Each structure stands twice: as C-alpha cells, then as structure tokens.
Chains A and B, each alone.
Chain A
Amino acid sequence: MTGNPVKTKRTFREWLTHLGKRIYLEKERYILILPGIVWYIIFAYIPIFGLSLAFRKYMAKLGMFGSPWIGLKNFQRVFADPAFFTSIITTLRINAGRLIFVFPFPILFALLINEVRLGRSKKVLQSIYTFPNFLSWVIVASIMINVLGQRGLVNGILSGAFGIKPIAFLGKPEYFRPVVFATDVWKTAGWSAIIYMASISGIDVEQYEAAEIDGASRLQRIWYITLPGIKTTILVLFILAVGNLMSGGFDQIFNLSNSATLKVAETLDMYIYRITFKGSVDFGFSSAVALFRSVINMLLLIVADRVSKAVGGSGLLG
C-alpha cells in the first residue's frame, strides 16, 4: 500500500537552489528575456521612485531623495485647479472613444487580411497598412492640414463637386474626436493588427479544414473559429487599453490640437505639459498629477481584469 507522499515545506535556501537549477536548465529562454527585464527595471521600475517627488518640494541640488517633504501640498494645488478635473473628463472621453472606435479596427483588419488568399497581395496590403505607423504625428498633422484644412483636399472636393461651403474639420470642437479616432485608426491599425495576426497563425489549421468539409461559410469560420481562437489576445489587449484610459496619445493630441479645439483637447497629458513647460516649472506639482493618473490607471486595470474574469474570460492578474 502506498500512502500519499508527504509534502514537506522547502526552506528558502532549497527554494533558491531549485530556482537556480530551473533557470540553468532553461537558460536559453532566460537569456532571451533578459534584455526585456533589464529594460523594465531601468525604464519602468527605477523611475517609480521618482514619484516620491509628488510629496516633496524638488530641490535639484539636494536631488530627488534629498528634497524636503511637503506632504500633500502639491495635491492640494492640483485639486484647486478646475482645469485639472476638466482634463480628466476630456481624457476619459477621448480614450473611451478610442476603445469603442479604434480598438476593434486592428481585429477587423487582421481578420480581413487573414482571408486574403494570395500570399503576395497579403504582404503588399499588410505593408501598405503598416507604413503609416512609421510616420511621426508631426507629419500626420501636416498631412491632415493639407487634407482636411479649409483649403485642403477634402474641402476642395466637397466645394468643387457639391458646392458645399468649406468645413473647418480641424477647427470645430465637434470634429476633433472623430479626427483623432480616424487618424489613430489610419496610423496604427495596420501595425496593431500584427499581434492579432500572430495569434491567428497559432490556430490549428485542421479546425478550418474540418469546418470547410462541414460546409461552413467564410463568415462562419471567422465567427466560430478565428474569433474564439484570438479571444484571449483580444481580452488581454482590451484590459491593457482600459488600464491606459487616463493616459496615452500625447503626441497625437499635441499635434492635432489647436486653440480652436482647446476645450476638447486638453487631456491630462496635455495639462501636465502645459503646467510643466508653459507655466512655471514645478516638478513636484507635475509628479503629483502624474501619480494621480497612474493610480487611477491601475484601478481601472484591476477593475477591467476582474470584470473580464467575471464574464468568463481570462485575466491578467490571475
């Protein structure tokens, strides 16, 4: 008779030895992820300590950690400025719109590209749609002025063909968000689709063959095989996007906005830029705003993750 093996608790030393052995055995993989880990440590984790500036009066000579503590004084200033709260609402509006109007496009694009049968056409199309991603927002904004300006291409066509009075696409607050979403889709959809296409390529081809034999149409194959196959990827990216609801897109907003769209364009990032570089420099104040943004982002990330789990999907945080 064999009894259940008795689980003994490992000591910390044993645990370390075990970990060391595992790492040694899988050393090729660990070497591959090492640059990523180093990047995260340098650019994501070490800067976290800089957030302590939110509670300090920054004195360059004393350094980040030697500057005197001033408690919540920076936050008091932040919360006294009505423009700060307006910028939060503006940020949420734009980023929620992005989730609704921009987020689905790469998925759609990946699904469509996946259906292109000729390999060469597929590559050409993919290259064409990926190319805008490599243009800076400064260039995209210049292109937009030439395309959407009152003396631009679109207005030229509208007035020439239909006699419509020039429309200020770039100068009306009501057009600002649609322009942001449209340019975002144009610039990033092709590039963002790559991750979905990689996910699609991981789906077992036999499923498609079986479906085809069973007489499934293309749309049915997409609906019943491809989409469920990439559901996890979609969910993970969605959770990450929700976690970025309070930030992101500074370059785009900065370059596409102007004084006419000021009220709908001052996102939290733009607010931080304005108070830091257009007013009097105060790194403590800017850090307080940034910290507030990060905390809200983290909360949103957790909420999205939990909701995802609750509706039967997978979560990022286990």
Chain B
Amino acid sequence: MKRLVSLILALMLALGVVCAASAEEKQYDRVTITYTCPQVVAGYDYNAPNGDGYSNWILGKFNIDFQGTNVSWNDWMNNLVTWIYAQDMTDVAIYNFSENTATTATDIVNQGLLFRLPDDWKERWPGVADVYSKTSLGPMLEELYGGTYFIPRARFYYNLPGDPLANHWCLWMRADWIKAVGKEVKHSYTIPEVIEICKLIKEQDPGQVGANLLPLEMDTGNAASFFLRANSTYWDTFYKDADGKYQWGAAAPETLEGLKLWYQAYKVDEVLDPEYYLLDHEKDLENFQTLGIAGVSYLGGQTADVENYRKTFRDRTGHEYEDFHMANLLGADGYYHQRDLINFWGAVCFKPDVDPAVFERWMDLMEWTCSKEGYPATSMGLKGEDWDFDENGEIISLIDPQEVQLAGAVGEAKYPSLGHVLGSVILWDDLAMDNPNIREDLRDESKLLYKLRTDESTPETFTKVDWNLYMNGSEELLAVNGIQYADEFSNMITTATSEEELVNLYNEWIESKQAIVQPALDALNK
C-alpha cells in the first residue's frame, strides 16, 4: 500500500512538473526571421553556438534562427524604403519614423506594402499593446491608417519624464576648464553664455592643449541643433502663429538670431572648429571624449549612457568623471526650445506577406520583453546571473558594473547582442532611470536635467506635437521636405564675411525658397 501511494505521488509530481513546464514554456517550432536595423551588429552571428550568452538564451527560448541585416545610420532609410518599394524587405524592420519620413510611411501603407496587424492583436499581446498606447504615435497612426501597420518602440514606459517629452541632447562640457577660467559650473547655459566660456577657454587654454584646442566642437548637424534648434523652436518646419495661421519657421526672427550667434562663434570669436563642416559622424564626440581636446560639445545625454560616456572619457583621457559635465542648452532668450520628441524611437513593421508563424513569434518575443522579467533582461542580461529581484521585488544587480561591461562592442562586452535589436519595444532610456548598474548620482543628475528642460521652458518654446502638420502628406509639403536646413544654413555661415552679408544671404535664401514654401503654406492654411 505504501509503495502504491509513493508511486501515485511520484507520478503526480512528475505530471505536475510536466504541466508546469508546458504552462510556462510554450513549445515553438524553429523559424528563421530576417530583420533590418542599424543597431544590428554587422557581421555578428546572433545564433548559438556563435552568439553570446544572452542571444543564445533568448533565441533558444523562442526557437528563432535570427538573420539580422545591418544598415549604416546614414543609409538606413534609403535602403529600407528602397527594399519596401521593391517588395524585398526583411520579415521585420525598424522604420525610422519622423516628420520627414511620415509621408513616405503613409504612401507605403496606402500602397499595401506593409503587413496590417490582425484586428485582435491587442488582445493577443496585451503587454505590447499597453506600451504601444503610451507612444502617442501608435494610436495616432492607427486612426489615420484605419489599422495597425507600425508598432512604435517607447522611449519611456514606467519613467516618462514629461509631456511633451524632452530630448536627451545636452552640452558636454569640461568642468575643470570652466572652473579654471573662472566660470560657474551649472545645469543650464544660454547659447551666448557657452560662447563666452569658449572664448575664455580659447584665450587661456586651461588644459594646455595648444594648437589642437577646440573650444567649441560639433559637426554641421549638431551645430545647427546648437545654434538654431536651441534658439528657434520651429527653425526647420512650419508653425501656427497667434492668429492660427501657419508660418515658416526658417523665416522666424529667432532663426536669424540663432544664425547670427553661429556666425559670431565661427567668424568673430573663432571658437567653433574651423573645419566643423568636414567632421564625420561622431568625430566631435571623439575629440571630446577620446582625445580630450574639446571644451564644449553638444551631444547625446541619454540616461542609459551618462556613465558609459564618462567611463570612456576617464579611460581614454585620464581625467575624472567630475571633469565631464552635462548641462542643458537654452536659447538666447533664456528658455529651453524644443518640439515634442514624442515618446517613441523607431517603429517595428513587417513585410506584407510575412509568414504568420514569423509574425506571431516576433510578437511573442516583443510581448516577453514587456514582461516583468523580460523588461530588465533587455538592458541587464540574464536573470540569476547578471541581475535578480530582491525580496521586495526590486531589481538588483549581480555584477560589478566597473568590472563587467554588459553591452557594447564585440570583444569588449559580455553581451554584444544586448539592446534593442532582439525584440525590445521599451527602449533602454526607461529602465536606465532605475538601473542599479548606473551610478545613482549620475541618474539623479540626468533626471534633474530632464525636469529642468520642462521647468525652463514655456508652452510656446517647448511645444506639443502638431499632428496635422506631422502627418501631412500633401505634395506641397513633400516638395519642402527636400530642404537640407542644416547644410543650407551652414553654407551661409561659411560663405558670409560680415554679419550684414549673412543677413543678405539669409534673406536671399528665404526668397529663393518661396517657390516651394509658399504653396506648402497655402496648402496648410487652406
């Protein structure tokens, strides 16, 4: 009898284990999924046995043979849009949705070149649906298109810093040099204040850099952001004036004012890199972070990277974390200027004839990344090995972040695959606010900078998104899309030999663009 009871108990136990396992782990057939995104590590095999611990584990869990296609940042949209129009896109891709690419997205959807998600997708993948609802863009596109074609990836989910959402872009400054020239290290500077500091750095060369010193270092795009975007909210788009009529932001007085500041920094005070227009992508970052020859730059300040940037700076220049200061940039009027960043970056889309098994697998993967365990894993690696929950359910780190680099380049990082590629719909920015692997004081500083961007603005200088404009796909607006504002304004700066000439060049340029701008304004004001 005793034996029989033991046998029944053992059988029940075994059955229980099997049932529990099947409830937890859905059994998947092997599928191959092709994917396009610039964040795919070029030439890296994500699949076991060649991948890293994280990719092998996650791809094994969902039984995916992952074939990622890397596209360069510059050619991202060229390539992807060409492939979409040629009906030759990968199963899954990340579309770089923005004001400039929205109209193309609408055309692609109207032509039936993307997969329309089934109407019940929100019930089947509620975690993804909840994140989607926080992106603003997702529901807006759904309304416009009459269905879901894009799943925007949320920058923030639990930790949204504000609405409208501020950008993370900020000043990178040499605090030791600022102190040495007798200026205050603070959290916000206006453009003229920065120019003034750079002038002093140029005169005094506190770092003894010599001929290679670059008081103000930024490439063309970042220079346009620094002098124009930070001073004139609508410098490269249209806006509604007090009478509710659309106007062209490039012709606004604040844009010309920003342009004059740019000219002053470049031609009058000569603090801006004399060949800023030749700088390749991230060369300005390298000159600040790696070579330590730049005084001030204007670069990314996402919370996820605030410590990494400093770590690299320390390791490569021999300076301390404290010498690397991040601060907000305000316009000459003392206010923070920006248009709503909108809570997303990159949108997931599928090819129109995607295999249902592939679609469902990728959705399952994305659903997992939104779960309580998946959400930290996408930033922190393997549960139980790199991080875990404490008794209160809080995330704790099991690694020494000073010793172990979780994400990054092949050969340097423990998990080169870690990041947004393998299914994330909540981006790193969110967990970074609470990530114990990042120094708490740096996270707090980053949160403070986000807060100050809102505090130091007005509803007129830090504005909500104008969806009518954002999603406008009229031919008149398409024609204006081709204007390369940063390059055109930069050209005026390098060409002008006096401020008067700059103003003339600017006025001539404004006039020359009327042939395409006025029809766009007419269409908007119709």
Contacts and interface: CB of A to CB of B under 8 A. Distances in A.
Given A61-B113, A259-B487, A281 B81 contact: yes
A263 B275 contact: no
Given A149-B278, A171-B278, A274 B482 contact: yes
A274 B480 CA distance: 12
Interface in A152-180: 166, 168, 170-171, 173
Interface in A68-102: 77, 80-83
Most buried by B among A59, A274, A275, A279: A279
A40 interface: no
A280 B478 contact: yes
A275 B481 CA distance: 8
Interface stretch (B124-132, B180-188, B488-496): B488-496
Contacts of B494: 171, 259-260
Nearest to A73: B475
Contacts of B84: 60
A168 B274 contact: yes
Contacts of A263: 491, 495
A145 B516 contact: no
A277 B488 CA distance: 17
Contact of A278 (B112, B212, B484): B484
A294 interface: no
Interface in A264-290: 274-275, 277-283
B274 A258 contact: no
B78 to A, nearest CB: 4
Given A82-B512, A171-B275, A259-B486, A281 B491 contact: no
B515 interface: yes
A262 interface: yes
Most buried by A among B81, B100, B113, B487: B487
B484 A168 contact: no
A61 to B, nearest CB: 5
A258 B86 contact: no
B235 to A, nearest CB: 15
Contacts of B212: 151
B103 interface: yes
A279 B104 CA distance: 9
Given A81-B515, A263-B495, A274-B484, A150 B274 contact: yes
A249 B278 CA distance: 20
A80 B516 CA distance: 7
Nearest to B484: A278
B277 A81 contact: no
Contacts of A151: 212, 275
Contacts of A278: 482, 484
Contacts of A80: 479, 515-516
Interface string B481-510: 111101110110011000000000000000
Nearest to B220: A259
Most buried by A among B85, B100, B278, B495: B278
Nearest to B77: A277
A236 to B, nearest CB: 36
Contact of A61 (B112, B275, B486): B112
A258 B220 contact: yes
Nearest to A260: B494
B103 A258 contact: no
Given A61-B112, A149-B278, A171-B275, A262 B481 contact: no
B27 interface: no
B102 to A, nearest CB: 9
Contacts, number: 93
Given A260-B491, A262-B488, A81 B479 contact: yes
Nearest to A172: B494
Contacts of B484: 262, 274, 278
B479 A59 contact: no
B87 interface: yes
B402 interface: no
B111 interface: yes
B277 A171 contact: yes
B511 to A, nearest CB: 10
B85 A77 contact: no
Nearest to B223: A259
A139 to B, nearest CB: 13
Most buried by B among A166, A259, A260, A263: A259
B519 to A, nearest CB: 8
B100 A280 contact: yes
A149 B478 CA distance: 36
Contact of B100 (A58, A82, A274, A279): A279
B490 A277 contact: no
B515 A150 contact: no
Contacts of A281: 81, 85, 104, 107
Contacts of A261: 491
A166 B212 CA distance: 13
B112 to A, nearest CB: 5
B77 A258 contact: no
A302 B115 CA distance: 49
Contacts of B513: 82
Contacts of A149: 275, 278
A283 B85 contact: yes
Nearest to A79: B515
A170 B278 contact: yes
A138 B490 CA distance: 22
Contact of B475 (A77, A83, A262): A77
A179 to B, nearest CB: 12
A82 B78 contact: no
Contacts of B100: 279-280
Nearest to A283: B85
Interface string A48-59: 000000000011
Contact of B78 (A168, A171, A277): A277
Contacts of B488: 259, 262
A21 to B, nearest CB: 44
A282 B275 contact: no
B113 A81 contact: no
Contacts of B515: 80-82
A59 B111 contact: yes
Contacts of B487: 259, 262
A60 B479 contact: no
B111 A262 contact: no
Contacts of A59: 111
Contacts of A283: 85
The 6 nearest A-B residue pairs measured at CB: A279-B482, A259-B490, A260-B494, A279-B481, A259-B487, A262-B491
8 contacts: A61-B113, A151-B212, A170-B278, A171-B275, A259-B494, A262-B490, A278-B482, A280-B103
Interface of B: 77-78, 81, 84-87, 100-101, 103-104, 107, 111-113, 212, 220, 274-275, 277-278, 475, 478-479, 481-484, 486-488, 490-491, 494-495, 512-513, 515-516
Given A173-B495, A259-B490, 6 more contacts: A60-B113, A80-B479, A82-B513, A262-B491, A279-B483, A282-B478
